[in-house]
Amino acid sequence: MKNTHINHPEDSVLTGDLSVLKWFTSLGQLSVKIDGSPAIVWGTNPATGNFFVGTKSVFNKTPKINYTQRDINRNHGGEVAKKLSVCLANLSRLNIKGILQGDLLFTSGDLKAVNIDGEKMVSFTPNTITYAVPQDSDIGRRIIKAKMGIVFHTQYSGKTMDSLSAGFGTVTGSSNRNVFLASASYKSTSVMFDKQELSRFDAQIRMAEGSLSRAKPILDLMSKSSSDQLSVGFRLKTFFNYYIKNSNSNFDKVRVMQKQFRDYFESVLQAEIDAKKTPRGKERFIRAQKDGLRFIDRNQSALYMAIASHITLGNAKNTLLQKMSQIQSIGHFLRTSNGYRVTAPEGYVAVDSVAGAVKLVDRLEFSRQNFTMPKGWN
């Protein structure tokens, strides 16, 4: 399994995977989900022994693996090519074995001197969140001297590139003068609630378990076709990201979201129908639209419970995030028209042996910003 995408826990239940409920009582290993970009994959090809760098396109059906600068020039362009060139020149010098994946934080040209609340800081904005560190701190001086910064979160094992298996969690290693290696480890895997917080959290989990039990028949049906982009199950998952991106309210109004999901499903399929020029080309999409709307109308009660479960698990996740985000070593900010606003980290990745890895992210805070804010290097 390659680490090309990690699910939100509330999305996992929409495909019938209820094992994610275990996360909320036993979180396992935690790492901070740092908001870096682009994703970098690098290491030694186990079959040839040759060092390489790349993006997630290393895992494409036709892989883009870069052993030399000539490979980078052929496979990539623009800023991505420039950043991969810096990675190729510097990552081989780290004392880390195997094949790793992480998120690029900065190259030297991305660093900016900023003043936040009267304090001089060095900052970088790899994606949505701006990270800032006092210039005269130990970390600040290391960042200023470095040619690049990166955080690793995945290590691969396998005898060939095609057979690699991902091991999630934090990857240890040491920075050098040219590479600032940020830690993704969370300082405490024990989330301490007071009595009132624990009662509220337990109530959220019990509510989710109750609604999931009533939604299970429709979740089981949707899971059978969840990879079909025309299916109700697939579109229900994409609907939540669409809703976050395009709506500023009513995220906890189940009836409103249920109606808007029906409208969303109908409009997405209608766009596919309208894009086809011949009756024969339209036929498949017309049938999928009719079947999907019939399925939605016949299963309104169970669909209501599925949406309610998604919302409740999202609320429980945010309760955890509020506790976890109390520990920070590097400042996290969102750029606004009036300066910088303090924010939490992007989120966390939780790992255990049952359900693999899931990401814990406040979607109403981070995901909406990630969808709508312009990206610095991109």
Alpha-carbon distance of 243 to 241, in angstroms, equals: 5
Predicted local confidence at residue 310, as pLDDT: 84
The pLDDT assigned to 362 comes to 46
* Residue 229 and residue 257 in one domain: yes
Q: Are residues 101 and 135 in the same domain?
A: yes
Which pTM value belongs to this model?
A: 0.51
Domain count, the chain: 2
In a domain, 29, yes or no: no
pLDDT at site 44: 92
Cβ–Cβ < 8 Å for 110, 83: no
Residue 141 shares a structural domain with residue 239: no
Residues 206 and 175 reside in one and the same domain: no
Specify if 292 maps to a domain.
yes
Do both 310 and 211 map to the same domain? Answer: yes
CA angle 288-292-294, nearest 5°?
Answer: 120
Do 182 and 269 belong together in one domain?
no
Decide if 175 is inside a domain.
Answer: yes
Does one domain contain both 119 and 175?
yes
Q: How far apart are CA 213 and CA 74, in angstroms?
A: 52
Q: What is the pLDDT of residues 275-314, one digit of tens each?
A: 999 999 999 999 999 999 999 999 999 999 988 988 888 8
Domain assignment of residue 115, given as a range: 35-187+328-345
3-state secondary structure of 180: strand
What mean pLDDT is reported for the chain? 76
**What's the Rg (C-alpha) of the chain?**
22
Q: Has residue 203 been placed in a domain?
A: yes
